[in-house]
Amino acid sequence: MTRIFKLPDLGEGMQEAEIIEWHVKEGDEVRVDQPLVSMETDKAIVEVPSPQAGRVEKLYGQAHDVVHVGAPLVGFEGAEDADAGTVVGHMPVGRGVVAETAVGVGHAGPGIKATPAVRALAHRLGVDLALITPSGADGLVTTQDVQRVAKLLEEWGPPEMLRGVRRAMAQNMALAQREVAAATVIDDADVDAWAKGTDITIRLVRAIVAGCRAAPALNAVFDSAAGARHLLKKIEVGIAVDTPEGLFVPVLRDVANRDAEDLRRGLDRMHADVVARKIPPEELRGYTITLSNFGMIGAKYAAPIVMPPTVAILGAGRIRDQVVAAEGQPAVHRVLPLSLTFDHRVVTGGEATRFLNAVIADLVAAD
C-alpha cells in the first residue's frame, strides 16, 4: 500500500502551484516537517514540508509541472497514519499533474474561409487560421496569407508561457476587467512645502488614512455574489511592488495606528522579502485598499486596476515642477499627480471625490 500526500492549500484561493525543485528523491528516508519540494504559487515560492516520517516511494511530477490542490504530490511506503492531506490507497502516477503547453488563440472553425489545400498547408506549417487576416476575395485565406504568418511565427520564436506571478497577474487582471465597474478621477497635490528627503510612499499611506476617514466607503470590500459590502475600520494598505517576475502586493497592516518609522521598517522588510521571493503568503492577503506609487518609475496619470473584492486604488505619478498660482502670482512648485480608480458599483463619484480631496489636503501640509 502506498500512502499519498496530496498538495495542500498553500494560500487563500490558490488552486495550483508549480514545482520548482524537489529536495528529496525516491527512496529517501524523511522526517516530519523536512522540506520536500519548493512550489511556486501566484504569490511566492513556498517550501512544502513532509507531514510524516517515512520512505519516499514516488514523486508525482517534475520541475515546471503544475500541480492542482488535492492532487498527489508524494507517495510514502510503510508509514504510520497521518493527515494533512494524505489518503490511504494506491493512486496512478501522474493523475492531476499537468504539464503546461501552449494554447492557441483561436481555431480554424467553419466560419473561416479557406480551401482544403490552404487548410492542409496551415496544418502542416503549424499556423492557426484564426490568427490570419485574410487578403483574398470575400475574406478568403490564401496560400500567401498562411506563408506570411508562418514566416512571422518563425521569426518570433516559440511562445513564452506565463508562469507563477505573471500567470496570476494575467488571471487577476482579467477578473478585474470582467467584474469591476471602474471609474477614475485625477487631480494634483501641491507638495512644495515638503522638506527635502520626505518619504513619499509613507506620506501617501498617511494621506490614504485621511481619505478613508473622510470617505469610509473606499476602505471596503464588496461581495458581488451577495450584493453586499463590508465597510472596514482597520485600514490595511496593499502596496503594489514591481519586480522582474511580475506584480506583488504586500500589505502594510493597521496603518492608521502606526507611526512613520514603523511603517517604513515594515515596508522595507516586505520589499526585501518580495525581491528574495521569501514573503509569507499571509503578508500578501487581506488588504482593504491599494496604493500604486508608479511615479517612482515614471508617468503622471494612470487608470490603476481595482482588484476585487477591494473597491479603490490610489495611484501616484512622478512629482514634477509646474507653474501654479501662489497668492495671485505665478510660481514654480513641486506637484504630485494623483489618480484614483474606484468600483462605481458601490462607490459614488461624490465619495471618491471627497476621498481624493482629503488625500490632497493631507499631502499639501508640511511634514
Distance CA 323, CA 142 (A): 58
Residue 107 placed within a domain: no
Q: Are the C-beta atoms of 20 and 80 separated by less than 8 Å?
A: no
Name the DSSP letter for residue 32.
T
Domain count of the fold of the chain: 3
Q: Are the C-beta atoms of 65 and 31 separated by less than 8 Å?
A: no
Which has more confidence, 109 or 354? 354
pTM: 0.69
Q: Are residues 177 and 284 in the same domain?
A: yes
| Chain center to CA of 125 | 35
In 3D, which of 4, 19, 9, 17 has the Cα closest to residue 83? Answer: 4
Q: Are the C-beta atoms of 83 and 15 separated by less than 8 Å?
A: no
- Read off the C-alpha cell for 48: 512544502
Residue 104 placed within a domain: no
Domain-terminating residue out of 51, 74, 99: 99
Q: Are residues 16 and 66 in the same domain?
A: yes
Mean pLDDT, residues 156-164 = 83
Mind listing the pLDDT tens digit for each residue in 1-16?
A: 789 999 988 765 567 8
DSSP-derived secondary structure for 160-178: ----HHHHHHHHHHHHHHH
Structural domain containing residue 344? 165-364
In 3D, which of 250, 253, 271 has the Cα closest to residue 262? Answer: 253
Q: Are residues 123 and 74 in the same domain?
A: no
Q: Are residues 196 and 342 in the same domain?
A: yes
Mean pLDDT, residues 57-79 = 88
Q: Are residues 149 and 184 in the same domain?
A: no
| Residues in contact with 132: Cβ distance below 8 Å, sequence separation at least 6, in sequence order | 122, 141, 145, 146, 149
Residue 126 placed within a domain: yes
Instruction: Catalogue the long-range contacts made by 52-55 (C-beta closer than 8 Å, 24 or more residues apart).
Output: 52/3, 52/5, 52/76, 52/79, 52/80, 52/82, 52/84, 52/86, 53/29, 53/79, 53/80, 54/3, 54/29, 54/30, 54/78, 54/79, 54/80, 55/27, 55/28, 55/29, 55/30, 55/79
Question: 55: domain CATH number?
Answer: 2.40.50.100
Checking if the pLDDT of 245 tops 70, the result is yes
**pLDDT band for position 26 (50/70/90)?**
very high
Question: 138: domain CATH number?
Answer: 4.10.320.10
Distance CA 189, CA 204 (A): 11
Q: Are residues 248 and 118 in the same domain?
A: no
Residue 125 placed within a domain: yes
Mean pLDDT, the chain, as a whole number?
Answer: 87
Q: Are residues 151 and 177 in the same domain?
A: no
pLDDT at 43: 65
Residue 261 placed within a domain: yes
Q: Are residues 125 and 184 in the same domain?
A: no
Q: Are residues 278 and 344 in the same domain?
A: yes
Q: Are residues 121 and 249 in the same domain?
A: no
Distance CA 118, CA 144 (A): 9
Distance CA 166, CA 248 (A): 10
Residue 172 placed within a domain: yes
Q: How many residues does the chain have?
A: 367
Residue 108 placed within a domain: no
pLDDT at 159: 81
Residue 106 placed within a domain: no
Q: Are residues 278 and 131 in the same domain?
A: no
- Measured between alpha carbons, how far apart are the two ends of the chain, in Å? 68
Mind listing the pLDDT tens digit for each residue in 247-260?
A: 889 999 999 999 99
- 309: preceding bond cis by omega (within 30 degrees): yes
- Read off the C-alpha cell for 105: 488563440
pLDDT at 212: 98
Q: Are residues 245 and 317 in the same domain?
A: yes
Residue type, 218: L
pLDDT > 90 in the chain, percent: 62
Element (H, E) at 364: helix 349-364
Q: Are the C-beta atoms of 343 and 180 separated by less than 8 Å?
A: yes
Domain-terminating residue out of 156, 191, 221: 156
Checking if the pLDDT of 99 tops 60, the result is no
Element (H, E) at 182: strand 182-190
